Amino acid sequence: MLTRLFPRSIRARLTTIATLVAAIVLSTTSILTLATAPDNLEGVVQSRVELAVRRVASEARTGELPKVLQTPPRVQLLQVISDDGRLVAASPALTDGPQMKPFPVPEPETVYTTELNMSRKGTEIGVHYLVMGMRVNTPNGPVTVYGASSLTDVDRALRWIFLLVFLGTPLILALVAGTTWAVVAFALRPVERIRKEMAEITGQDLSRRVSVPDTGDEITYLAATTNHTLDRLERSAETQRRFVADASHELRSPISALRAQLEVANAYPEEADWPSTCMRALSSAERLTSIIDELLLLAKLDAGAVPERRVVDMCRLAEDQVFRRAGARVPIHLDQCGTAPVFGSPVQLDRLLTNLLDNATRHAATRIDLTVAREADRVVVTVTDDGDGIAPHDRERVFERFMRLPEARAKDKGGSGLGLPLSREIAIAHRGTLVVVEHSPGARLVCVLPVHERPERP
């Protein structure tokens, strides 16, 4: 329900929040002002009048009361009246000024306060006064001292306060809302431009980029990050298109060969050498299976799939590889190693070694050297052959999918060009690296993996 009432637009949302905050602040300030300002303003006037009344009362007690009373600043009227109503003393302003009407003061030595509207002689315009009275005993009998001060300035100030509170507050809120709306709209203008440019970018054309404002703020970082993301998407889309094209080409060859063999055998069943045909068909099927398995494993690695992992000793995997390849065309010489623990997938790490050794076997002339060594916090696996080697400009190209150099195609037409790319992806998935390093004669591939440190027992 709250989400339905709250606006969805960021501009409307920020405007609403700013207006609500301003309303809370202004309302609190207005309430405090209305609650304290009248009393404070009248309190100042009351203090002045009370001080003047007490001064005159002190003079009356000692019998030193003059006939004409001098008024202090901002106290306009002073008068002293006896109990029988006789005017004992008064300020000059009472001669032709407003008529101060006495009010009863029952208790002596106590200041009483009231507010009266008094008019000047000959006019009917009343003036609002604060009047205070105090009854005291004098040598000539009890008298009452009255003092008055105009509340015109106080009333004027209160009118302005009420005007500002009840008219100014809505105007300020409207100004805050309008300013916030305009400022947020101006701030979000680059975002709207980026949105429109992003909406025009399609999967068929990822070469376009959004404009980057030179303000140096978060919008600039957003636009730059968007362009970096588009760069990665374009590279990924291009890689995917190339991958699909290469995969189609590599799969078409064994399928075409398999189909041709079966069609010829089916067309001339009496003349067909069925055992030989079956062997060739099985060979093509095995090549298809190998390509499909490597493609599936690459797809899983690209998708970030995490297989079951445990501690794997790379030395034991290397020994198993050498044992399985005993009697192969090219012998494999394994340097003696102790333990090289790595935390990872046994299947994937074994596949990494298989691909590296298969690649070396295809290119080696007489010898393959396999080394597994633990160096500080890493495990280094080195595979070296004595073949033709890899040219410096091709040392990164061999890790591209379906990339087969002319020398490799001439030596082995059954390769898929996925072995080394798959091996590098496996190394990266295990937080490692796989590179071709300088070596002569032949080629040397070095895989570095983080060593697994067993936690110390307490």
* 387 and 442 Cβ atoms separated by less than 8 Å: yes
Angle subtended by helix axes 346-363 and 419-429, to nearest 10: 150
Q: CA nearest 22: which of 185, 164, 181, 174?
A: 174
Domain count, the chain: 3
Contact 262, 277 (CB under 8 A): yes
Q: Count Cα atoms within 13 angstroms, Cβ side, for 322.
A: 19
SS3 (DSSP) at 66? coil
| Cis status of the peptide bond prior to 441, with omega within 30 of 0 | yes
Q: What is the pLDDT of residue 407?
A: 63
* Same domain assignment for residues 36 and 146: yes
Residues 334, 232 within the same domain:
no
**Stretch (H or E) spanning 374:** strand 368-375
Q: 78 and 158, same structural domain?
A: yes
Domain-embedded: residue 46: yes
Out of 279, 300, 321, pick the residue that ends a domain. 300
Specify the long-range contacts of residues 327-331, CB closer than 8 Å, at least 24 apart: 328/361, 329/361, 330/360, 330/361, 330/364, 330/365, 330/366, 330/367, 330/368, 330/385, 331/367, 331/368
Q: Whole domain around residue 421: which residue ranges?
A: 306-450
240 plus 96 within the same structural domain:
no
- Residue 345: strand, helix, or coil: coil
- Is 33 in contact with 161 (CB distance < 8 Å)? yes
Q: What is the CATH number of the domain that holds 366?
A: 3.30.565.10
Strand 332-334 with 368-375, pairing = parallel
CA distance 152 to 170: 27
Beta-bridge mates of residue 344: 310
Amino acid at 208: R
Instruction: Report the predicted TM-score, pTM, of the whole model to 2 decimal places.
Output: 0.51
H or E stretch at 355: helix 346-363
Tokens of 383: 């595979």
Q: Please identify which residue in the block is written with the tokens 């001339």.
A: 268
pLDDT for position 417: 73
* pLDDT tens by residue, 157-178: 888 988 888 888 899 999 999 9
Q: Report the half-sphere exposure of 288 (CA within 13 A, side-chain side).
A: 16
Whether 401 and 415 have beta carbons less than 8 Å apart is answered as: no
Domain-terminating residue out of 137, 171, 200: 200
* pLDDT computed for residue 133 by the predictor: 92
Residue 207 lies in a domain: no
Q: For residue 421, which of 299, 287, 306, 248 has the smallest C-alpha distance?
A: 299
- Name every residue whose Cβ is closer than 8 Å to that of residue 140 and which is 6 or more positions away in sequence: 63, 82
* pLDDT reported for residue 35: 85
State whether residue 140 is helix, strand or coil.
coil
Residue segments in the chain with a per-residue pLDDT below the cut of 50: 1-2, 122-123, 456-458
- Whether 100 and 148 have beta carbons less than 8 Å apart is answered as yes
Written as six digits, the tokens of 227 are 């362009």
Are 255 and 317 in a shared domain? no
pLDDT at 249: 61
Residue where a domain terminates, one of 249, 267, 300: 300
Closest CA to 107 of 144, 56, 149, 57: 144
Identify whether residues 312 and 174 lie together within a single domain. no
In angstroms, the CA 285 to CA 51 distance is 116
